[in-house]
Amino acid sequence: MPAHAAITEKRFDVVIAGGGSAGAVLARRLSENPNRTVLLLEAGPAYAPAAYPDVIADANRVGGDPAHDWGYHTQDRLGLGHDVRAIRGKVLGGSSGVNAAVAMRARASDFARWTARGLDGWSWDDVFPVFKALENTPTGDEAWRGRSGPFPIRQRTMEEITPSMRAFVLASEAVGLSRIADFNGAEQDGVSPYPLNVVDGRRINTGIAYLTEEVRRRPNLTVVGGADVDAVLFDGRRARGVRLTGGGTVEAGQVILSAGAFGSPAILMRSGIGPAMHLRDLDIPVLQDAPVGERLKEHPFFYNVYALQRDAKAMAPVAGAIIWTRSSEAARDELDLHISGTHIFDPAQSPTGGAIVLACSVTLPKSVGSVGLASRDPRAMPLIRYNFFEDPSDLRRMMEAVRLSRRIGRTAPFSDVVAAEMQPGPDVDDDEALRRAVLSTVDGYAHPTSSVPMGGPDDPWAVVDGDGAVRGVQDLHVVDASIMPDIVSAPTNVTTILIAEMISRRLG
């Protein structure tokens, strides 16, 4: 169905802009009320649950392709010396369709940081029952795990991962890390194979898990692909619908933006909600002066890559195991470092035809980035700056992670399956050389958050309240990773799904 045809001829109770990790959840939950008409608009293709192409459905293919990506990159060349690719899925299911399918919850300490900002209703006691309710997993302690939710989470076993990945886990134990049975259980400080939203090799994105064929047949739910939202329309200060990029408008009683950490702030700013000076520079009339886009967070990511011995060069499945631990600067109860073991690497770039990546990350960065508009044109790429290592603590902690990763690289049994270190390479043998290597090649973990943050009534950075309602206007919500008050110490996808589950309950 053409995106601008039938949907412009009727009024919906709710229009949701963006069908990703949050929007697909909202569409399912809000359409459970048969008396509420819901329209879900997705800029990318809206595939049927069983019709996703392999680039989206195959869990061993990570990062999507140009047909399913927004094609964004940051403007960090001045600070870092290079820009950073900002992968975002452009498909029903959003970035849950192109990510590594890691299904790890945020921790209680993450939510304690949120509530310390004066935010009610987001404590661990508030969110934990919802984390359990959204998932279905056949393993793990029933006190911690959910059995009957829509989102499948499967704990990968040592037998399921590659020989080199098993060696990574065992070498991590050899240097003193604990083996964790279940990162979504009682303990997280240590090493374990990943929990993944993968079933029989298929990445189960939210477009599959939440928008099943049965859900899509609901007469009160309309799902439209190829429909990009330009701006929110207002009567005075009340949202009344959206304007589509290709022309046409959709009328609605309530508007929810779920376009992600780049898309949602961009739509808000084009609608006149954002930093007044920035909007005036672009000749956008200011409806509400608000700190939109000014608290962007992302996890910095550095690749410590090893060529594998030819007799241990298996590279599938690509997602294997991860270390989650604390740096010497971590606050009490916080785990602020990841070392993520994957085979997401072109084997042709390895002299042996096989490689393993130990990707190091600071998961509680202090550096703050930004998202702005390059122009009023909705097709223009936003101005994204991650500002990695703006806070010196982030670089110090990244160096700790890389030193630990390289120590594991020299430890049996991992060292027994390694032919050579490829990145940063054996010539990088002192702190200054390592610092230069990190700065010159740092990437993003593809976990952008906090560009439209929630906050309590006295939080000067808050754009939305604890229910995602945009301050200063009516009938407009933002529900996605952009509203996290601060980035969490885990991969962000499951927490983004949680946010949509929590707020959908409050919206009734």
Query: Where in the sequence numbering do the catalytic residues fall?
Result: 447
Which residue is listed with tokens 């996703």?
Answer: 52
**Separation of alpha carbons 88 and 10, rounded Å:** 31
238: three-class secondary structure by DSSP: strand
Q: Which residues contact 439 (CB under 8 A, 6 or more apart)?
A: 80, 81, 389, 395
Contact between residue 204 and residue 195 where contact means Cβ atoms under 8 Å apart: no
User: What are the residues facing 476 on neighbouring strands?
Assistant: 255
From start to end of 144-189, where are the E strands?
151-152, 154-155
Helix (H) or strand (E) holding 207: helix 206-209
- Cα(first)–Cα(last) distance of the chain, in Å? 29
CB 322 within 8 A of CB 364: no
Helix 493-507 and helix 124-134, axial crossing angle in degrees, nearest 10: 100
Dump strand ranges (E) for 103-246: 135-136, 151-152, 154-155, 190-193, 195-196, 198-199, 202-203, 221-224, 229-235, 238-244
